[in-house]
Amino acid sequence: MESRFQSHRHASLTVTAVLATATALLPISAVASENQCGKHKDVTQLLLQKYNESPVGLGITSQGGLVEVLTASDGATWSIIVTTPDGLSCLVAAGEDWRSKTITPGPAA
């Protein structure tokens, strides 16, 4: 029998996998044509200076890209960037009111 913690962890991993897959499948060329791309250092520096955002999570795609979630310390804004293996970073999503979710283990079953 699966414990509540394991089922919550599984659900969390599933959501994370879906987000990473969806982000990885976004057409980088479409985003690049909107001038939302640049060197990783330049993109992250701009997000830090303009929105006070810094990385809070990251993952590697099956194609070798780096997916990063950046948020302002107060959660007012957030951004998701994908960096290709050749170093091109592109903004793929941004928004407001970021909420971090901590999964706490429940009692063992």
Residue 25 corresponds to which tokens in the numbers above? 């499948």
- Does the structure show a pLDDT above 80 at 80? yes
- Does the structure show a pLDDT above 80 at 41? yes
- Give the mean pLDDT of the chain: 77
pLDDT at 108: 72
70: which strand partners?
Answer: 55, 79
Question: Do 60 and 66 form a contact (C-beta atoms < 8 A)?
Answer: yes
Read off the pLDDT of residues 57-71 as tens digits, 9 standing for 90 and up. Answer: 999 999 999 999 999
Residue ranges per structural domain of the chain: 4-96
Please tell me the pTM assigned to this model.
Answer: 0.64
- The CB density around residue 45, as the number of other CB atoms within 10 Å, is 12
Higher pLDDT, 13 or 80: 80
